[in-house]
Structure 1
C-alpha cells in the first residue's frame, strides 16, 4: 500500500501563510510515510490544479492512502436577491450527452477555491475551481481507493480582515453568480458523481463550518500560517503512532482554534470515526496507553493533549483486556502532576495485589479539572504581582507561558488603569489601579473565561442525540423571514433576528438557547422554559415569533454600554438540544463592562437559581463551567442525557452614528 499526498497552495490576494503551510504539511506527512507532491503558487492556476488532481487519481491504486490538501482563498457567490430563479431554456438541436439524464439543480450558494489566475476570469472563462468540480474529482478518486482524506484550509466568506495581525482566507470580491452558473452548465460535469449530501467514503477536514470564516496569522516565530494548518500539524505530531480517530483529533484542534478566534470552528465531515489515514474505524479515543518511567510508580501518558488532560486530572489504570467499568480489577489510580507539550505524568496509587504497571495497560480518565484559558500578563512591571494575584482567584484562567499561545491579555493603559483585552481589543473601560480595580479585573477574566469555554462546546459524539434536528436563523424585516446577511454586512442594534429549530425525527427533544454577548455576557434566552422547551417529533419552534399574535417580530440586538465601538465583534447564540430537561440558568452572568458592588468579590453565578434536574454529562459540564470545579467521568453512564449543540455566530457593529470616523 502506497501513501500519496497532493498539496495545493494558492497565495492569490496576498495571502502570506500559504508557502509556510505547504512546508509544514510536507514535513507532517513525510514523517508518516507519504510521497508528497506539491502544486505551489507558481503552478496553482486553474489548469495546474486540475492537472495535479488528475495526476493523483491516475497514480493511486486500490488501498492506497491519499491526501488532497488545499491552502488559500475560498469564494462563494449567490444570485442577486432581486432576480427570481429562471428555468433552464430549452436547448436547440440534439440534446447534450450526459452520463446522467437529470439536469443538475445547482444550489443557490455556489462555492469555489481560488487559483492564482482567478483574476483572469471572464463571463466565458471562469478560472475558479467549483465545489461541484472538486466533488466529482473526489468521487473519481474514491472509486480507486476508499482511503481518501481531503483537507481544505479556506473559507467562503466575502470579507477581508480588520486586523493587521489576522487575515481572512476569503475573497474580497466574489465572482458574479451568472459566471459561475454558466461555467457549471458549460463544462458538463458527471452529475452521477455528485453526492446528494456528502461522499461517505472520504474524510474531509474543513477550516470552518458553513457560513464561518477561516484565518491565517503569525505564529510564535513570526511566520504566517493558516490557523487550521498550524493546529493540524501540531495535533498530528502529538498523536504520533497512537490509534487516534479524526473525530478525536478534530475535537482537540477545534478546542485550540476556538480559543484563538471563536469565529472559526474546524469540522470533520464524512467517516470521521476512522483512524488517521486509514479506513479502519474505531471508537473515539477514551483511554491512553501507559508508559512506566524509571522512578517506581511514575508513569507517562502519551498523546494526552488529544484528551485535553490537565494538572489534577485523575485516571484509573486498567490491565490489558479489562473493561473500563471493571473497577475491582484496576491496577491503581493516577493523579496528573506534570503536563508537557505532548504528554503528562503522575504517580500511581496501586490497588491491592499490584506493585507495578503491566505492559499494555490503559488509563481511563475518571475526573477532569475545569478547563482554563491562558492570559498573557505584563512583564517587568511592578504591578504584575497584583495582576497574577487576580488571576489566581479565578480558577478558569492561568498565566500564559512566555512565547505560548494566549486567549486574552492584561495591559496597563496610558492613564495607569488595567484592562482585559481579547485579540480584537479591550473588553471594558480601564479599571483603576487599586484593590477594587483588581477585583473587577478578576471578575472580568472569569466572565471572559466562561464565555470562551461555552463557545468551545460541542455535543458528546459518544452519546449522540439520536434524532434529526435542524437549526436555521435569519433577519426579520417587515414581519417576514429573510436569510442571514451576506458576508461583509455586520448587523447593528437596529437589526432583528429569528432562530428556528425543527425536530425532524421520531423522538422528542428539549431546546434551550444561550446568548454569548459581544462583551462576554451569557444570557439565557427562552426564559419562560428555563429547563428547555419540549419539541415533539416532527415539530418546530421559532424564537422571535409571537405565538399569541401569530406574528414574526424578531429579537432585537444591543451594543453594550462602555464597549469600544472601534472594533466589530461577534455575538454567539448556542442552541442546546437535549433528550431530557436541563437547566442552563447557572451559566448566566452580567456584562464585563458593568462593575460589581464594593463589598462583593468575584464569584461564579449563584447556583441556587438552577432548576432541580437529575445528573447527566451535560449537567456536570454546565456546573463545571459555572463554578470552575472538577467533574466526575463515568465511562459507562447508560442513562445519561444525550445532547447536541449548534452555534450561530454573527458580526455586529454599533449604529452608524456611534462608529468613530
Structure 2
C-alpha cells in the first residue's frame, strides 16, 4: 500500500499564501507517512497540467493505496444563463469551477477553468480503483472572492466567454462536487455560497496561509501519534476558523468516523484516545481537540453505548493534554473517551485593569459560555478600560455599545452584554445537523439586496450593505417532502432577531412541484440601532434554518429559552443550548429528533454616506 497525494496550488488574482499552503500540506503529509507527494504550482497548476496530473495519479494508483487531492486557490460560482431551465431539469443552475493559473487564456472555444464536474469525474475514477480517497479544497465556492481579510473583497469572475465551459459541463452529465462518490471524504474550506480567506500565519512568522489549511495542518500534525476521526478533528477546525473569520469549513461524505487517510473507522465518531500517565488518566492532545476544564466524557468499551458508560470529568488541562478525574475502577486498555458535554466557550480579551475588570475575571472563570482569552485564543470581543470607563469592542475595534463607568456595580450589565453577543456569535457559526440530526434534503436559499435607485441584486457572503438598504430571501424546496423554515438575523449590534416571528413554529415549504414550494421573506429593512455607536462596517449574518418538522424557535432570539424547554424537540434542545448557554450536549440524536440544515449569508453593514436622508425603520438588530 502506498499513500499518494496530488497538491495543486494556483496562486492567482491577488492571492499570496497558496504556495505556502502547498508547502505546509506537503510537510504534514510526509509526517503522516505519505511516500508519493506530487506538488503542482505556477505552470504546473494550469488547466491542462492539472488534467494530466489527475490522469497520471489514476494510472499510478493501486487498489490498496490511499489518495489525497488537495487544491489551494480561487474558486468561482456563477449563475448559468440557462439557470431556470437547468433547475427544472434537476441539474445545477451554476457554472462552478476552480481557477487554474491560466484562466485568463480562456477563449470562446477553449475554457481554462476546472469545472467541478471534471473534478468529480476524476475522483470517481480514483474511487473505482481504491476506496481510500480524500479531497481537500481550500478555495472560495462563492461567485469569486479573495481569501484575504486585510483587503477589499475581489472577484475572480473574469470576463471570459462561458460558451466552452457550458458545453463541457453539459457533455459530462455529472453531479456537482457537493454530491460525489459516497465513499469520498470531502474537506472544504467553506460552504458552496461562502468565501474562504487567507491571512498572516499565526504559527509561521512571515508566511501567509489559507485559514482552513493552517488549522487543518496544525491539527493533523498534533494528532499524528494519536489519530482521531475526521469528525472530531474537523469540529475543532470549524471552531478555530470561525473565531477568526465568517467562514465555515465543512466535512462531507458518510465516513465522519474514519481515521484520516485510511478506511479504518471507529466505533463512535466522537471517540478520543485515553492513556495512563503515572496515576493520571489523560486524553492526549485533548486541549488541541477542544476539551476544557469541567467538560465530561463517557468511558466506552467497544460496542458500548455512551449513554450506558461511566462518566469522567476533565479536571485540568496540562499542556496539550486533558487530565480526567480517575474513575473508581481502572478502565480497560481499549476503552475510549466519548464527549458527552462540553462548554463551548467564546473568548473575551481583557485590555487594561480596573475595578470592573477585576470583578469580571472571576465571573468569566465561572461562566459556561464565556472565558478570558489566553495567548493562543482568538477573542471575538475585547473589554477595554480607558479613562475611568469600560467599553466592549469587536474584532475590528468598533464599540458594541457606549462605554460604562469603571465601577463593579456594572458587572451584571457587562456580563449580560457579553452573553448576548456570544449567543449571536454561536448562531453565526451554527453548523448543519449531524448524524441523525442531519437533514438530507435539497433546499436552496437565494439572498438579494435592494439599494436606493438600483434594481435588486444577488447578495452573497462577503458583500457589503449600507444602512437603509433592504434584503430578502427566497427559499426553494427541491426535495420530495415538505419542510419548515425560519429566518434569523444576527444584526450589526450583535443581537439576534427571528425575522419570521409571526410564524415561530416555522414557515411551511411544500414539496417540490407543489404550490408553495417557494417561500419569499419580502423586503426587510436594515437600520442602525440608536444604542450602537455610528461607525463600521459591522457584520450582519442572515441564517435560514430548514427542518423536517415544526417547532417553536422563538426562544433562539431571546434569553428565555431555559423557561421554555418543554416546547423544544429533544434533539433541538442541544442546538438551542449551544446557542444560548454555550453548553453542547454531544449525546447521539434521538431517532425521532429534529433534522435540520443551515443556509447562511454573512455580510457587513456600513453607515449611510453623509447627506443620505434615508428614513429609519425595519429590523434594527
TM-score, structure 1 normalization: 0.78
Asked if 1 retains the 8 angstrom alpha-carbon contact of 2:436 and 2:595, the reply is yes
Does residue 199 of structure 1 match 2:174? no
Q: Matched residues in 2 for 1:167 and 1:343: separation? A: 40
User: How is 1:460-499 mapped onto 2 (pairs within 5 angstroms)?
Assistant: 460-464=433-437, 468=441, 470-475=443-448, 484-485=458-459, 489-492=463-466, 493-499=468-474
User: How is 1:522-601 mapped onto 2 (pairs within 5 angstroms)?
Assistant: 522-533=496-507, 540=516, 544=520, 553-561=522-530, 563=532, 566-578=535-547, 581-589=550-558
User: Which ranges in structure 2 are unaligned for 5 or more consecutive residues?
Assistant: 613-621
Whichever of the two has the greater Rg, that structure is 1
Asked if 1 retains the 8 angstrom alpha-carbon contact of 2:439 and 2:597, the reply is no
Q: Matched residues in 2 for 1:150 and 1:75: separation? A: 18
- 1:251-271 deviations in whole A, cap 9, x for unaligned? 32222221222x211112334
Q: Cα distance, 1:12 vs. partner?
A: 1.9
Asked if 2 retains the 8 angstrom alpha-carbon contact of 1:126 and 1:180, the reply is yes
- 1:91-119 deviations in whole A, cap 9, x for unaligned? xxxxxxxxxxxxx9985532332333444
Task: Name the counterpart of 1:31.
Answer: 31
Does residue 423 of structure 1 match 2:407? no
C-alpha spacing 1:461/1:38, structure 2 compared with 1 (3 Å)? same
User: How is 1:64-83 mapped onto 2 (pairs within 5 angstroms)?
Assistant: 64-78=65-79
* Range moving further from structure 2, 44-53 or 202-211: 44-53
Q: Cα distance, 1:482 vs. partner?
A: 6.5
User: How is 1:439-450 mapped onto 2 (pairs within 5 angstroms)?
Assistant: 439-450=412-423
Task: Name the counterpart of 1:94.
Answer: none
Asked if 2 retains the 8 angstrom alpha-carbon contact of 1:419 and 1:427, the reply is yes
Q: Cα distance, 1:25 vs. partner?
A: 0.6
Q: Cα distance, 1:47 vs. partner?
A: 3.7
Task: Name the counterpart of 1:339.
Answer: 317
Q: Matched residues in 2 for 1:531 and 1:281: separation? A: 38
Paired residue for 1:312, among 294, 317, 323?
294
Paired residue for 1:626, among 557, 575, 580?
580
| RMSD, aligned α-carbons | 3.9
Q: Matched residues in 2 for 1:659 and 1:60: separation? A: 65
Q: Cα distance, 1:557 vs. partner?
A: 2.9
Give 3-state SS (helix, strand or coil) of 1:398's partner: strand
Give 3-state SS (helix, strand or coil) of 1:570's partner: strand
C-alpha spacing 1:236/1:659, structure 2 compared with 1 (3 Å)? farther
Does residue 268 of structure 1 match 2:261? no
Task: Name the counterpart of 1:252.
Answer: 236
User: Which ranges in structure 1 are unaligned for 5 or more consecutive residues?
Assistant: 88-103, 546-552, 590-604
Task: Name the counterpart of 1:364.
Answer: 338
Task: Name the counterpart of 1:378.
Answer: 351
Paired residue for 1:278, among 262, 265, 269?
262
Q: Matched residues in 2 for 1:615 and 1:271: separation? A: 25
- 1:519-538 deviations in whole A, cap 9, x for unaligned? 21012232234344566766
Asked if 2 retains the 8 angstrom alpha-carbon contact of 1:570 and 1:649, the reply is no
Does residue 349 of structure 1 match 2:327? yes
Task: Name the counterpart of 2:616.
Answer: none
TM-score, structure 2 normalization: 0.83
Q: Cα distance, 1:159 vs. partner?
A: 4.2
- 1:96-149 deviations in whole A, cap 9, x for unaligned? xxxxxxxx9985532332333444445555443333333333333333333221
- 1:228-269 deviations in whole A, cap 9, x for unaligned? 1011112223443556443443232222221222x2111123
Asked if 1 retains the 8 angstrom alpha-carbon contact of 2:117 and 2:177, the reply is no
Asked if 1 retains the 8 angstrom alpha-carbon contact of 2:349 and 2:379, the reply is yes
Q: Matched residues in 2 for 1:108 and 1:192: separation? A: 13
Task: Name the counterpart of 1:597.
Answer: none
Give 3-state SS (helix, strand or coil) of 2:118's partner: helix
Q: Matched residues in 2 for 1:147 and 1:445: separation? A: 45
Paired residues, what number? Answer: 597
Q: Matched residues in 1 for 2:122 and 2:83: separation? A: 28
C-alpha spacing 1:21/1:659, structure 2 compared with 1 (3 Å)? farther
Q: Cα distance, 1:430 vs. partner?
A: 4.2
Give 3-state SS (helix, strand or coil) of 2:6's partner: strand
Task: Name the counterpart of 2:361.
Answer: 388
Does residue 232 of structure 1 match 2:216? yes
